[in-house]
A and B are shown apart, each in its own frame.
Chain A
Amino acid sequence: MTQEQKSFPAPSVSPETEEYWEGAKRGELLVRFCNDCGSPHHYPRSICPHCGSDNTEYRKVSGNGEIYSVSVMWRAPIPYALAYVTLEGTDISMMTNVVDCDLKSLEIGQKVKVKFSETEGDGPPVPTFTPA
């Protein structure tokens, strides 16, 4: 069931997103929330893309979610699953890979949980997901 895993290029870290990646290093999935409209968003920005407020902060979320959509890239040297996962208790979905799974078994609506994957070089880990 566990198959060879593609490597993950390291994300570039900017001052705007440094805190997010520091959380990733601690194994915490952070989501940026707006303190004015109350809405979460992803990818994280300093200014809320929903209401335009600059009163935003990171909050730790459970790391549970479900697959919104998924496509397995069979043509790649090491096939992998690209997915959007909707985060539990939110209306937001994030792009990710579903790992440590039977690629043929993945379905929309399937429950998954975060599993940080190491990246190349000295970069922070990235949030991937695995079946819950």
Chain B
Amino acid sequence: MSISGKAYIAGAFEHPTRKALDKSVAQLHAECALGALRDAGLTKDDVDGYFCAGDAPGLGPINLADYMGLKLRHLDSTETGGSSYVLAVAHAAEAIAMGKCSVALITLAGRPKAEGMATGTKPRVYGDSPDVPFELPFAPVITNMYGMCAKRHMYEFGTTSEQLAWIKVAASHHAQHNPNAVLRDVVTVEDVVNSPIISDPLHRLDCCVISDGGGALIVVAPEIAKSLNRPLVKIKGAGESPKGQMGGRVDLTYTGAAVSGPIAFDEAKVTPADIKYASIYDSFTITVLMQLEDLGFCEKGEGGKFVADGNLISGVGKLPFNTDGGGLCNNHPANRGGMTKVIEAVRQLRGEAHPAVQVPDCDLALAHGTGGSLGTRHGSATLILERE
């Protein structure tokens, strides 16, 4: 049993806002849903499955189905942080393959910018989880947890700040073509390493942007995809995994992608060398580097060399990544970057990316998400998509 070829992404929409002072979170969800449905050529009455995650207000799918007037026979609110939406595509494909729904809507929205949230510098607590008393007193915030990952990677493998900086440089080369991107200026390695240290060894420009907005996807059964006037983007393989502290046997050198990646590649029956475009979760530069290694695009420890010298820049390097500018420069709506990873992969497969960054003959793409923290515990989700 496999989901390969059992479902297609027929609609994708990224909200253009980056600071939503005048909109509610529910409204942003609904605007994203409308955008994706229009993109697919469907209406809300076609939707019979709905997927959302922890950014959704209230009881998630209950409150938002009521708000949007959805009539559903399948719903799912699996919460794995920023990776939720990559994982939701796979879960939607599973539900479609099992006949539980035929048109699945996935939405994400949030407004941390408008709310003035200290995304990178204040601890976030996810409920009354058992780890909290043993961590919160020490003020783990997102930036210092990823700082510890970067520090250990440098210690074990000799990775440098300049190599990490190349990841931001590549994202900025792409973002210059995206009118909605938060950061559109092309930056250099020197710009990154000379920006202020937030939590060492991570600089300000090693971090992603903080932005409002959201996105939505429509996943449909094959016969519906083929009835719509849109390019066919087929779900070919998917993998998911949590990774934590392993009872204290902490290992910060790898991520859950080491598990979710091989599962997805096995299901898709392709290898990393086959991938023409990759959307890689980019909360920080180090996030990208570690995941590229774990997904098998290079050997463990070789990520620094792999990303250097523009290897991730479309038209320049071997692995074009995050051609919308990614979370590092474009958008990180609700502090959850998984949705936009899938959306840009769909654009690339349809040939609808900006012409300056469109990968020629892009027929196979990967989207990978992380949710939570690489420094403690996180969810990983990998998706492989093919243009048919």
Contacts and interface: CB of A to CB of B under 8 A. Distances in A.
Contacts of A97: 138-139
Interface in B119-150: 120-121, 128, 130-141, 143-145, 147-150
A75 interface: yes
B45 to A, nearest CB: 47
A120 to B, nearest CB: 9
Interface in B168-190: none
Given A41-B248, A42-B248, A80 B155 contact: no
Given A82-B144, A82-B145, A82-B148, A74 B138 contact: no
Contacts of B130: 14, 16, 43, 45
B248 A93 contact: yes
A74 B197 contact: yes
B136 A70 contact: no
B117 to A, nearest CB: 15
A41 B201 CA distance: 29
A-side interface mostly = loop
A68 B152 CA distance: 8
Interface of B: 120-121, 128, 130-141, 143-145, 147-152, 155, 196-202, 245-250, 252, 376
Given A9-B137, A94-B134, A108-B155, A50 B247 contact: yes
Given A72-B200, A74-B199, A39 B247 contact: yes
How big is the A interface, by class?
35 or more
Given A84-B252, A92-B250, 7 more contacts: A14-B133, A45-B130, A71-B148, A71-B150, A90-B248, A92-B247, A95-B140
A59 interface: no
Contacts of B248: 40-43, 90-94
Q: Which of B130, B139, B376 has the most CB of A within 10 A?
A: B139
B233 to A, nearest CB: 39
Interface of A: 6, 8-14, 16-17, 39-43, 45, 48-50, 68-76, 80, 82-84, 90-97, 108, 119, 126, 128
A122 B297 CA distance: 51
Nearest to A13: B133
Contact of A96 (B133, B138, B246): B138
Given A70-B148, A95-B376, A75 B121 contact: yes
B328 to A, nearest CB: 18
Contacts of B148: 69-71, 82-84
A71 B147 contact: yes
A99 B63 CA distance: 46
Contacts of B139: 6, 73, 76, 80, 82, 97
A50 B57 CA distance: 36
Contacts of B245: 42, 93
Contacts of A41: 247-248
